[in-house]
Amino acid sequence: MGIAEILQKYGQNYAMAIFETLSMTLLCFVIAMGISIVVTVMRVSPIKPLRLVGDLYVQIFRNIPGVALLVLVAYALPNIRIVLPWKTCVEVTVVLLASAFGSENFMTGINAIGVGQIEAARSIGLTFTKTMQKIVIPQALRSAVLPMTNLLIATMLTTALGSQVPLNPQELTGLVSYITTDSTGLGILPFMISAVCYAGFSFLLGLLGNHIDKKVRVLR
C-alpha cells in the first residue's frame, strides 16, 4: 500500500485524529496558561507560603517525565477514588506539565521587567494586585510570546501521550499504532503521515508566534 491507498482507507481516521490532537492541544494550552498565571503570581507574591507552594508546583511537574505523570494520573489516582476518563487523564497530565513550563516562561519575562518599574508602580500608589495587573502581567505576557509559542508546540507534541491509553477517537500518534496493527506491512508510512501533520502545524504555529511577537514586543 502506498500513501494514496493509506489515505484512502484511513483518511477519515486521520482527519478525526488531527481534530483530536488540535482540540486537545488548544484546550490544554488555554487551561495551562490560566494555571501558569496563577502559579506565577503565587511565586512572586509577598506571602511566603504561597511562594513555596508555587515553587513546589513547578519543581514537581517540570521534573517528572510525561509518561510517568500519566501513569500516576491514570493508575494511581483511582487508589484515592479519583477515576477519570482516559482522555481527561491525558489532558490533566499535559496541563500539569505545560503549566509548570509556562510559569517558568512567565518568570523569565518578569525577571526581565526589573525591580525598578515595580518600585515606580508602588511609589505612585499602586497596590500589589494593581502592580501585577497593570505592569507585571502585561509585560510578562508580551515578552513570553516566543517561549509560549514553543510551549504550545511542545503541548501539541505532548498530547501524543494519548497513544498510551485507549482513546476513541485517537489522536495522531495513537492512530499510527492502530493502523499498523490493523493492516500489516505498511512500514513507517502511517507514522510519516502523522509526523508531517505535526511538523506542518508546528511550522504554522511558529509563524503565528513570530507574527504576534513582532506586534506586541516591548521595546527596551
Partner 1 sequence: MSTQTPVIELRHVDKHYGDLHVLRDINLSVHKGEVLVLIGPSGSGKSTLCRTINRLETIDSGEILIEGEPLPQEGKALAQMRAEIGMVFQSFNLFAHKTILQNVTLGPIEVLGMSKAEAEARAMELLRRVGVDAQAAKVPAQLSGGQQQRVAIARSLAMQPKAMLFDEPTSALDPEMINEVLEVMVELAREGMTMVVVTHEMNFARRVSNRVVFMADGQIVEEGTPTEFFDHPKTARAKDFLDSIRGH
Q: Footprint of partner 1 on this chain (CB under 8 A)?
A: 113, 116-117, 119-127, 130, 134-135, 138-139, 142, 218-220
Closest distance to partner 1 from the beta carbon of 174 (Å): 42
For the bound state, the minimum distance from the C-beta of residue 217 to partner 1, rounded and expressed in Å, comes to 9
Q: d(Cα 106, Cα 99) in Å, to the nearest integer?
A: 10
Q: Which residues, 6 or more positions from 172, have their beta carbon under 8 angstroms from its beta carbon? A: 14, 17, 18, 20, 21, 160, 194, 197, 198
Identify which of residues 138 and 169 has a Cβ nearer to partner 1 in the complex: 138
Backbone φ and ψ of 84, nearest 5°:
-105, 150
Shortest distance in whole angstroms from residue 137 CB to partner 1:
10
Comparison of 133 and 210: residue with beta carbon closer to partner 1 = 133
Helices and strands per DSSP (H, E), number in the chain? 10, 0
Which CB, 58 or 121, lies closer to partner 1? Answer: 121
Pick 80 or 219: Cβ nearer partner 1: 219
Q: Based on CB atoms, which residue is closest to partner 1, 47 or 60?
A: 47
Look-up of cell digits 501539541: 156
Whole-number minimum distance, CB 211 to partner 1, in Å? 18
Compute how many other C-beta atoms are within 10 angstroms of the C-beta atom of residue 48: 8
- To partner 1, the closest distance from the beta carbon of 81 in angstroms equals 42
Residue 86 corresponds to which cell in the numbers above? 482516559
